[in-house]
Structure 1
């Protein structure tokens, strides 16, 4: 885009290249104490997954030690981690939830 100043000078505007925001994977970590049903409920509530998908993620957490719940911008991922941790602590469970940059 070309614009003119009041004195007649022509200025060229450089198009700003914005890079997309960093994205973060929210991951649940396995422990030997948190009930599987509680993990399924957490995944359904905070990650909007249907029961079948939530169960598959829970089984991945149980089998592989961790399971991915979704990819989000940093602020949303951070909020989801805090919500899950707060809910788990209030329920008396040691469930861990972390975020990893992708």
Structure 2
């Protein structure tokens, strides 16, 4: 067997293994971070949370806040589990720090 045959064989084996691995990989589950409405947390605080933790501009944050206010809950963003879990913890800690009862949770998105 020549060097070219060995190299070609090795390359095709690698390509085949990569293709098999890619076929076995699946998209990670996605989770939406949701804020729930309450009668005590000020609207501007909710807007500030959306800007601070979800990088929304003022207009988008206001729209989401109004959704939360009128529909009882609003989606802040969609993330893989670890990031969603971190966002929920950050928002919860921040709300507690400022003594607001703002509730934040994550919901798995069914695929």
TM-score by length of 2: 0.81
Equivalenced residue count is 94
CA RMSD of aligned residues (A): 1.3
Which residue is 1:97 aligned to? 104
Aligned pairs for 1:69-88 within 5 A: 69-88=76-95
Which residue is 2:60 aligned to? 53
SS at match of 1:15: helix
Counterparts of 1:59 and 1:81 in 2: how far apart (Å)?
Answer: 20
* Unmatched runs of 5 consecutive residues or more in structure 1: 4-11
Q: Whose strand fraction is larger, Structure 1's or Structure 2's? A: 1
Q: Which one has a bigger Cα radius of gyration?
A: 2
TM-score by length of 1: 0.88
* Unmatched runs of 5 consecutive residues or more in structure 2: 1-11
Runs of 4+ in 1 over 6 A off after TM superposition: none
